[in-house]
A and B are shown apart, each in its own frame.
Chain A
Amino acid sequence: MPPHDLLPDGNRRGRRWAKLASLIVLITLLAVVPPAMNSYDQYLITLTLVYAITTLGLNVLIGWTGQLSLAHAGVFGLGAYLSTILIQHGWGFVPSLLVAGLGSAIVGGLVVFPALRFSGFTLAVASLAFASVIVQLFDNGGSVTGGGGGLAVPVFQFSGLSQTMSTYYVTLISTVLCFVVAHRMRHLRFGRVAFSIRDTEIAAVVSGIRVVRYKVFVFAFAAFLGAIGGALYAQLETFIFPVMFSTNTLVLMLVMLFLGGASSLYGPIFGAIFAVVMVELLQSFGSYQDLLYGLLLMLVIGVLPGGMASLPERLRTSHLLGRAVRGVASRFGRGRQDEATAASPVPPTATGSSLVDDPGDGVESGVA
């Protein structure tokens, strides 16, 4: 649903309060219920949140700004390794988390800078090369990274809480913060800029938007979120090794992103829940797991490009079901606006109008 924040509309304000209230209830539940769960379920719910933060970073990059980077699994690993190494050198957990995030953001922004003159394929290849180098460094880092054998993670613990619960609370707070900030960004100037870079980069250029600066920032921000996710992941798993951050992890992230719905703010949460539940269900399938990830990615891309977040709208706009849902909705007096927004089909999300395809009347930014 497109944001209408700036519209003078009292009714909308009411709905915003309702949303805020339900959000507070949800967060309270997330704070209160898990202590009563068994530790495995606590682990699973923490993992879901970690995935959600990480995928949010990928979403800002791919879903909002249309920049196809394949380095996210590598950046995720960078966060995990950096924070772990810092903790091993006597740093506190929270400072190491932040420094890992910021450090990865700087690395991500710097490395991607030369590639930004290009878009699309070259960027995809450069980012993939970057990710593979990161993983190679983990593999060949000697005693610093533990090589192929990996590193044991010194796990942070609040007094009076189990390790898992301590990680859980830090993760919960991080998730809430990240999503609140992302929510603000998406519905304000940043979101407008990102979307226009994604869909009409040329129009963004002629509107005076400093496209390259924004792209560097978006890469850095995505790397920050990915690295925070990675640092928390390291705490959760208590042991990290290079294979954890390989292409398979990237594919899992892409599945979460596209299944949840690229460009939708809360898509990463749906995607993360789905991924964790699926992994649980498929655990007994062993090697079939990777096969299913791959097939799932293919299926989502082929069948449901808007992801799960687009399902309600798709149902509404589909012929049979749509009429029924619209009928019910209008009876509750909220059909009008939604109908207007649902009337035109969702443009296939992030189908790369900002990739190498025709950027306009034969134009390209940054000549001369």
Chain B
Amino acid sequence: MAESPAKGTGDVGGSIAWDDVSVAFGSNQVLDGVSLSFSSGFNGLIGPNGAGKTTCFNVASGFVAPSSGQVRLNGTDVRGLSAVKRSRAGLARTFQTPRLVLEMTVLENVLVGTERQHRAGHVREVLSFPRARREARELADMSMDLLRRFGLEGAAGQRAGSLSLGSQKLVEVARALATQSTVLLLDEPAAGLSASDTSAMVDGLHQLVEGTSLCVVIVEHDLQLIMSLCSSVAVLDFGRIISQGTPEMILQDKAVVDAYLGAGFATGD
């Protein structure tokens, strides 16, 4: 069970779709009829600051109620489901700033993500039943394996608070993967990471996602990362999707270049 976190999902590919989603905060229209759909593999969601990328994620996770439209998770409308239920239906995510329990060890933080995999229950665990112990060991092994993929096995016993910000973000990605979800939303996973942390992130994700049916959506400003990793990219600007397609198509789309890429590429970002 340690090889692939998405193994439990079988042949059904993970997918997520936003159907005509609009969100307004007061008079501020943050999302304006966004329709998007992503399936297995790496997908990118890009756009200038304030375009509404994180809001897309928040709508999907159930933290922001859309004024109209719906989100489908693996083909099912998740309207009316609470954030917890959506997560238990197979949606995991990370945040722009890592949200770890700094007082706990790195391994314990990853184990928080295994909540859904527990079968034995708290009482058996507290009473140290063999089955609960075996389960705890298996989940710890799986979590250690995840950490190994990101080059963090050496830090497993350290307090999360003693890690650099970059490593903390890696731990958060590992925690999201530990949920064994079918859809994984990564909010700027590489922002603030050093070059070596970024490559650890990319390598780890590659290893873990390749050959599985996991659907990963990445919001990121590092366009090189997006273009090299993702097979499908969507561009969001002022709350609207202005383009969606393969990286090559996006790079040649004049509207995208005008709105966003032009400035970034011209300055050699």
**Chain A interface residues (CB < 8 Å from chain B):** 2-4, 6-7, 9, 181, 184-185, 188-190, 192-193, 195-196, 198-200, 202-212, 263, 337, 340-341, 343-344, 346-347, 360-368
Answer yes or no: B156 CB below 8 A from chain A CBs: yes
Across the interface, do A4 and B105 meet the contact criterion of CB distance under 8 Å?
yes
Q: Looking at the complex, which one of A198, A199, A203, A208 makes contact with B116 (CB distance below 8 Å)?
A: A208
Interchain CA distance A206-B125 in the complex, whole Å: 23
- Residues of B within 8 Å of A188, CB to CB, are 122, 125-126, 136
Interchain CA distance A27-B96 in the complex, whole Å: 49
Interchain CA distance A361-B219 in the complex, whole Å: 14
Q: Is the interface of A mostly helix, strand, loop or mixed?
A: loop
Interface size class of B (residues with CB under 8 A): 35 or more
Q: What would be 29 A-B contacts, judged by CB atoms less than 8 Å apart?
A: A3-B105, A6-B111, A185-B126, A188-B136, A192-B111, A196-B101, A196-B104, A199-B99, A199-B101, A200-B101, A207-B87, A207-B115, A207-B175, A207-B179, A208-B87, A209-B84, A337-B157, A343-B162, A344-B161, A344-B162, A347-B103, A361-B95, A362-B64, A367-B63, A367-B64, A367-B82, A368-B65, A368-B79, A368-B82
Across the interface, do A192 and B112 meet the contact criterion of CB distance under 8 Å?
yes
Answer yes or no: B35 CB below 8 A from chain A CBs: no
- Residues of B within 8 Å of A344, CB to CB, are 102, 159, 161-162
**Chain B interface residues (CB < 8 Å from chain A):** 54, 58, 61-65, 79-84, 87-88, 91-93, 95-96, 99-105, 107-109, 111-113, 115-116, 118, 122, 125-126, 128, 136-137, 140, 156-159, 161-162, 172, 175-176, 179
**How far is the CB of B156 from the nearest CB of chain A, in Å?**
7
Asked if A368 meets B159 with Cβ closer than 8 Å, knowing A2-B103, A208-B115, the reply is no
Asked if A210 meets B84 with Cβ closer than 8 Å, knowing A346-B103, A362-B58, the reply is yes
Interchain CA distance A199-B127 in the complex, whole Å: 27
Interchain CA distance A209-B92 in the complex, whole Å: 12
Across the interface, do B159 and A365 meet the contact criterion of CB distance under 8 Å?
no
Contacts A192-B104, A363-B58 given; 14 further ones with Cβ under 8 A?
A4-B105, A7-B156, A7-B157, A9-B157, A188-B125, A190-B122, A196-B101, A206-B176, A207-B87, A361-B95, A362-B63, A367-B64, A368-B62, A368-B82
Interchain CA distance A211-B112 in the complex, whole Å: 12
Across the interface, do A207 and B157 meet the contact criterion of CB distance under 8 Å?
no
Across the interface, do B104 and A185 meet the contact criterion of CB distance under 8 Å?
no
Interchain CA distance A135-B95 in the complex, whole Å: 45
Q: Looking at the complex, which one of B84, B100, B103 makes contact with A211 (CB distance below 8 Å)?
A: B84
- Residues of A within 8 Å of B116, CB to CB, are 208
- Residues of B within 8 Å of A340, CB to CB, are 158-159, 162
- Residues of B within 8 Å of A7, CB to CB, are 105, 107, 156-157
